[in-house]
Chains A and B, each alone.
Chain A
Amino acid sequence: MDLGHRDHRLLPSLLRHINLDPVLLGAILILGVIGLAVLYSASGGNVDIVTRQAIRLVLALLVMVVVAMAPPQLLYQWTPAIYFSVFAMLVLVPLTGSTGKGAQRWLDIGIVRFQPAEIMKIAMPMMIAFYFAERRLRPRLRELTVALALVLGPAFFIFIQPDLGTALLIATAGLTVIFLAGIRWRTVILTALGSVAALPLLWHFMHDYQRRRVETFLDPESDPLGAGYHIIQSKIALGSGGIYGRGWQNGSQTQLDFLPEQTTDFVFSVFGEEFGLLGVLLLFALYLLIVLRGFLIAWRAQDTYARLLAASITMIFFTYFFVNVGMVSGLLPVVGVPLPLISYGGSSMVTIMVGFGILMSINSEKRLLSK
């Protein structure tokens, strides 16, 4: 490829050379920088926290670049191996997992502690896409049953860890692929009705703290010190932001420490308070840009596997965003899902970047073939 032509095209072509999609990359970087600024305000000007997050962001971006350079065929070949080994680890976690923050989610291998559930967020759509890739669509009942088992097995083990938020994300990822594979609308509607009917069963398997969260969601006043108070304070923060916001580092809810977990799960409330509806709409636009770009990549992809995988990864990203904003604005119960690219914390950021890397890899493959 000739890198030397036309100065203003130098950067995009350089990025393309290493498979990076400039639109995706641009939106990710802007969100990352916004995140650091919000974090600075939310942490009360703690430079250490911001620095640590910046380092994470850079490292996660490097991971993305590496993944983007891997061809989709490689992912395809490794899909069953990855899925089943992560599944095995999920089963092992309740047996050997060490405990982090009240839940058995971490598997300790020597020096590194990691969450198998985190990898499952990527491994799940890969596996379901793999399963349908070589089969005639639309799926028949038998194939549908197998696919559902592949989705619900890992989701169940994550749910009992217990990690309701991640279980929902992973189930969403898998079900998205099944939906895209072309099951009939009739089946979709019946399944949806069936799930609603199964809710009491879910309640039965929930841990006390999970039930408490749902109860608190339904009646925030029932826990004035805890989650209910959090939701009330979060709504006050968002609402008081108004159209224009209170200004960076000027939100009283944030700066007087009324907001809970304002650097992690509730970071969106800080943003909403300080940047108002205009800021919120800009943020939504950025997230939507990424999602639509992801769907475009899926649409242009060359084979079933790549198509299904790209669309599903995009859908996970959107679910993160929707659930987080929904919960801090009181639309959904607090299930502990971070705002992607902005919340303080490392492990979900890496997962999301791996997802973007795969999207970019799929995107570049299409171009290579069409040239």
Chain B
Amino acid sequence: MRVTIDLKDIGMEQALFGSRLLALIVLVLLATGLLVWRMIDLQVIDGNRYEELARNNRVRISPLPPARGLIYDRNGILIAENLPSFSLEITPRLAGNLGNTIERLRHILDIGEEDIQKFHKLRRSRSGHDRTPLVVGLTEEQVARFHVNRRDFPGVEIIARTRRHYPYGEVFAHVLGRVGRINARDMKRVDTRNYRGTARIGKTGIERFYEDELHGVTGFRSDEVNAQGKLVRALSQQPPESGKSLVLSIDLGLQQTAIEAMGDNSGAIVAMDPRNGEILALVSLPDFDPNPFINGISARDFARLRDNELRPLFNRAVQGQYPPGSTIKMLTALAGLEAGTIEARKKIFAAGYYRLPNDSRKYRDWNRNGHGWIDLADAIARSSDVYFYDVAYRTGIDRLMPMFRRFGLGSRTGIDLPGETSGLVPSRQWKKKRYNKHWFPGETLISAIGQGYMLASPLQLAQMTACIAMRGDCPQPHLLKARIPGSAVTGRLGGNQVKLKDPAYWDIIIDAMEKVITDPKGTGRRIAKGLKWRVAGKTGTSQVFGLKEGQRYEAEKLARHLRDHALFVAFAPTDAPRIAIAVVVEHGGHGGVTAAPIGRKIIDAWLENH
């Protein structure tokens, strides 16, 4: 019976399609009829009412952007403020002959050709009803001159706004960050309703991280306008709510001292109070002046900053990835002590190089002559590589790396700045995943002295140092101290705890770190003279490129960008720590020579004043 089941019945299909098409046409006609009815309703039945409304549509609602919150340093010094700024804006639709208007404005205000070109470029992309700025940042004299003549210029207005200003310019470039013009991507992360009328938004640093609090709540006003769209009188307004002001833990004086101490070097410094994690200074050099960005930096100036090979826009303190070098030898020692693979008092012979069993390769010490018979404290003080190669060999990568991680290496500290990097603590699994290769025993050795795959930011090194200073009560680094209005941020925030099997290990490590400076053979001995407080520190020299076996490192003969980075971490006073620092001097050579003196200056400056 159903023989034709799989054959297409063309006649039936066409008839079916026809009836369905007819249904669709009826639907379309009904829908169009609905629209027609709607339009008759609006334009004829209610037409007079709407015409009346349009004639009386004299109420224009406009947003009132809030004042951005101010930012202070820990002593209440204003480091980000709002200055009044006047701009001359034209509504082309109301201005009549635009060319003529601009020509006449030029005569009384002395406007540059570049401004005029910018204006035309912007105008073409906008509606003729929109106010378009011709000059931003008018001088008071220009404002006065325009006001005298303003009746001659319909459609031209002076608009008062505020603009962000950083009184200390580059000093806080990498802490505060900067604001800039809002773009489409920014609009995605904010409530667009609240940003109507807001021209600028935090792009980097604190300005970005605390954007929501700094911005405030937009208000609006309704004004009565006449038939030409000009203001007759203000009707009502809901005032905007200013953004919150922030007090940071940063210290202007210490920040300036740190920058000065670095001289012409590039690198980074982080200083924090180990008791509560408050960042006291955070420096990344070279830096830049954020102020020109506010009104739109010229393309050429921006390109100069962006393409500078020293990368001034890059925040080395939180985003820099440096091999931590010998600054992490304390952690290697702790891993050995915890695992029971070394004893603090036991001396071993540290030659000029180290060999793994069944491996001909020589792992060299920075000191070609070796350090002789040394114990753990000597090894840290003199920064013996061979001693720690041996620790690493005995302890193994699987017990070393967890200890590094417990001190926060390999993960973000959670500081209140955007874009922080996590550094890298390698492991067998990581290498398998990343390179699909097995872990080599030699890699354990070089990881243990902070070379190889190991990477950390200066901020992480400062946190690690604070962690040691507090004997495992690790602070969470942060910059925000208080909001106004709002409560102060007090005490410790988060942070993890490092518990050791024997608390005495802390004394061993900290004593050894003091010996770095006090011991005549300590790598930090150069800063010992006249020191008013007990300082515990560790120098580091991290390789930028690997030497081939048998090759000798001769700084003078190397191009600057291949020279070693100089590092120094320290805290003071040893018995009651009030400051912990990390200093990285890029291509600075020896940590003890270049970085340690800079570190001392910062410690001295802080402890002398507090």
Contact = CB atoms under 8 A, between A and B. Distances in A.
Interface of A: 42-46, 48-49, 99-102, 136-138, 176, 179-180, 182, 209, 223-226, 229, 233, 235-243, 252-253, 255-258, 262-263, 272-273, 276-277, 280-281, 284, 287-288, 291-292, 295, 298-299, 304, 307-308, 311, 315, 318, 322, 325-326, 329, 331
B42 interface: yes
Contacts of A280: 39, 43
Given A99-B188, A137-B13, A284-B35, A236 B54 contact: yes
B39 A277 contact: yes
Contacts of B193: 223, 225-226
A304 B12 CA distance: 12
B150 interface: no
B20 A325 contact: no
Contacts of A100: 184
B43 A242 contact: yes
Contacts of A318: 28, 31
B91 to A, nearest CB: 9
Contacts of A236: 50, 53-54, 57
Contacts of A243: 43-44, 47
A340 to B, nearest CB: 14
A239 B53 CA distance: 9
B66 interface: no
B54 A180 contact: no
Contacts of A263: 127
Contact of B51 (A229, A239, A291, A315): A239
B304 interface: no
Interface in B149-208: 184-185, 187-188, 192-193, 196
Interface in B15-52: 16-18, 20-21, 23-25, 28, 31-32, 34-36, 38-40, 42-44, 46-51
A272 B47 CA distance: 12
B92 interface: yes
Contacts of B47: 239-243
Given A136-B5, A258-B57, A46 B124 contact: yes
B501 interface: no
B39 A102 contact: no
A104 to B, nearest CB: 9
A3 B63 CA distance: 63
A238 B42 contact: yes
Contact of B44 (A43, A137, A277, A287): A277
A255 B93 contact: yes
> Chain A contact residues: over half helix, strand or loop, or mixed?
helix
Interface of B: 5-9, 12-13, 16-18, 20-21, 23-25, 28, 31-32, 34-36, 38-40, 42-44, 46-51, 53-55, 57, 60-61, 63, 92-93, 124-130, 184-185, 187-188, 192-193, 196, 220, 225, 227, 229
B28 A239 contact: no
B20 A180 contact: yes
Nearest to A103: B188
Given A239-B46, A315-B24, A326-B35, A46 B13 contact: no
A138 B16 contact: yes
Given A257-B127, A284-B32, 16 more contacts: A46-B128, A100-B184, A136-B7, A176-B24, A235-B42, A236-B57, A239-B53, A255-B93, A255-B129, A272-B42, A277-B40, A281-B39, A322-B32, A326-B38, A329-B35, A331-B34
A288 B28 CA distance: 9
A243 B42 CA distance: 10
Contacts of B129: 44, 255-257
Residue from B17, B54, B125 having most chain A Cβ neighbours under 10 A: B54
A235 B50 contact: yes
A101 B182 CA distance: 12
B225 A256 contact: yes
Contact of B192 (A102, A137, A329): A102
A224 B235 CA distance: 15
A45 B44 CA distance: 29
A298 B21 contact: yes
Contacts of A277: 39-40, 43-44
Contact of B17 (A180, A322, A331): A180
Nearest to B17: A307
Nearest to A280: B39
A236 B59 CA distance: 13
A137 B10 CA distance: 9
Given A252-B54, A298-B21, A257 B35 contact: no
A284 B36 contact: yes
A262 B25 CA distance: 31
B24 A311 contact: yes
Given A224-B220, A252-B54, A257-B129, A238 B39 contact: yes
A182 B22 CA distance: 12
A240 B55 CA distance: 9
A102 B43 contact: no
Contact of A240 (B50, B188, B192, B229): B50
Contacts of B127: 42-44, 46, 49, 257, 262-263
A240 B53 CA distance: 8
B31 A180 contact: no
B123 to A, nearest CB: 8
A287 B16 CA distance: 26
A43 B129 CA distance: 7
Contact of A182 (B20, B43, B57): B20
Residue in B32, B35, B42, B48 with the greatest tally of chain A CB atoms within 10 Å: B42
A334 to B, nearest CB: 14
Contacts of A239: 42-43, 46-47, 49-51, 53-54
B60 A258 contact: yes
A298 B25 CA distance: 12
B380 to A, nearest CB: 48
14 contacts: A46-B126, A49-B127, A136-B6, A179-B20, A182-B17, A240-B47, A240-B54, A241-B47, A242-B44, A242-B47, A255-B129, A256-B227, A295-B24, A299-B18
A305 to B, nearest CB: 12
Nearest to B31: A322
Contacts of A48: 124-125
B47 to A, nearest CB: 4
Contact of A225 (B12, B39, B128, B220): B220
A292 to B, nearest CB: 7
A284 B376 CA distance: 90
A351 B130 CA distance: 30
B548 to A, nearest CB: 41
B194 to A, nearest CB: 10
A251 B155 CA distance: 19
A288 B24 CA distance: 13
B57 A252 contact: yes
Given A236-B53, A239-B49, A284-B36, A99 B184 contact: yes
